[in-house]
Amino acid sequence: MSHSHHHHDATQSLRLVFFLNLIFTLIEVIGGLWTNSIAILADAVHDFGDCVSLGVAWYLQKLSTKGANNQFTYGYRRFSMLGSLVTGGVLLTGLAFILFSSLQRLANPEPVHALGMLGMAVLGIIFNGLAVYKLSGGQTMNEKMARWHLFEDVLGWIAVMVGAGLLMVWDRPEIDPLLSIMLSLFILWNVVRNLKQSLGYFLQRAPAGFDLESFTEKLQKLKGVKGSHHTHCWTLEGEHHVFSTHIVMEEGSTREEIYRTKCAVSDLLEDLKIEHINVDIELEGEPCLIEYRRGGK
């Protein structure tokens, strides 16, 4: 029993944003040297890291579309989750570099080319804004982490644009590194939050929206059900989930009643994107197969 709701092409979206990011990184290096802006140069280094992580995310997302085989019986979807962890790690490294560079520049402010910064900021908002839009429909943790990468850049360029405007009317070069520091701290908080979610899913935490206690209570209310145990729910990559449970039914339950119960379980899971549903039925007084294997036969 399964449900499939996947319509968004994550692989194509990640491929497009990879090339957008690569092109703009080259533009940033030239613009950063021209304007002498630590915010732009630091972001260029950070964007180079983005290119690496987006390339990995793209490759792993493409790999995740492969079907099941003898080694990976659920398919390769969890490789997409691995991509989100790689992206998050690179992003944290980039943020650390930006903070270090900004603190150094704050201690020794240097004049910057404000008009050039403004022009670069406009280009940055256009390139990265388009990339965020292309990933806006993605639900996998891989896409969500990549989207935070790019949304961070949009906010960064908005900050650069504001800073450039201030520098054009107020000759205070420390504005440039101060904006970079404030932005980095804000993004750091959000990246840690999303990385924590990715790690939780990678360690098979139940997906958002599934409450074991509440679901068990609903199971107990089904007609003919005497109890349930070994109920598990986990996610493959943040979008497609797996569910299994053992249900104890009244002794003498008919084949039709057992089938109706399985269908009722599927209906209870309708709001979740469950790709694999496994319901093991035990009649009252019948030993659980797991306990049997443990020696409780």
Dump pLDDT digits (tens) for 56-87. Answer: 777 877 777 777 788 887 777 777 777 778 77
Boundary of a domain, candidates 175, 202, 229 = 202
pLDDT for 17 equals: 78
CA atoms within 13 A on the CB side of 288: 14
DSSP 158-191: HHHHHHHHHHHHS--TTHHHHHHHHHHHHHHHHH
Which among 76, 66, 59 has a CA at the least distance from the CA of 14?
59
Indicate whether 35 belongs to any domain.
yes
What confidence tens digit (pLDDT) does each residue in 130-149 have?
Answer: 878 877 766 666 666 677 76
| pLDDT in the model for residue 283 | 92
Residue 89 has a pLDDT of: 81
Same domain for 198 and 217: no
CATH code for position 120: 1.20.1510.10
pLDDT score at 255:
93
Distances (CA, A) of 147 to 57, 88, 128, 144, 191: 11, 11, 10, 5, 11
pLDDT at position 38: 67
Q: Tokens 């104890």 label which residue?
A: 248
| Residue at a domain's end among 169, 202, 235 | 202
Query: Among residues of the chain, what percentage have pLDDT more than 90?
Result: 19
Q: Which helix (H) or strand (E) holds 233?
A: strand 225-235
CA atoms of 232 and 20, how far apart (whole Å)? 41
pLDDT tens digit string along 196-231?
A: 888 888 888 888 889 999 999 999 999 999 999 999
What's the whole-model pTM score? 0.62
Classify the C-alpha dihedral 221-226-232-235 as positive or negative: negative
Residue 114 and residue 240 in one domain: no
Q: Give the chain's radius of gyration (CA, Å).
A: 25
Give me the residue label for tokens 């490294």.
93
Structural domain range at position 192: 10-202
Q: Is residue 43 located within the same domain as residue 164?
A: yes
Structural domains of the chain, count: 2
Last residue of a domain, one of 136, 170, 202: 202
- Note whether 198 and 220 are same-domain residues: no
State the pLDDT confidence band at 174, using cuts at 50, 70 and 90: confident
Domain for residue 5, yes or no?
no
Residues 102 and 160 in one domain: yes
Q: Is the same domain home to 19 and 162? A: yes
Same domain, residue pair 27 and 133: yes
Among 174, 128, 117, CA closest to 155: 128
Same domain, 133 and 240: no
The residue with greater pLDDT, 21 or 234, is 234
Residue 101 placed within a domain: yes
Q: Identify the bridge partners of residue 228 per DSSP, sorted by sequence position.
A: 247
Q: Are residues 151 and 64 part of one domain?
A: yes
- State the pLDDT at residue 140: 64
Report, as an integer, the average pLDDT of 236-262.
90
Residue 216: which of 256, 268, 267 has the closest Cα? 268
Average pLDDT value for the chain: 80
Residues 94 and 189 in one domain: yes
Helix axes 78-107, 175-202, angle to 10 degrees: 160
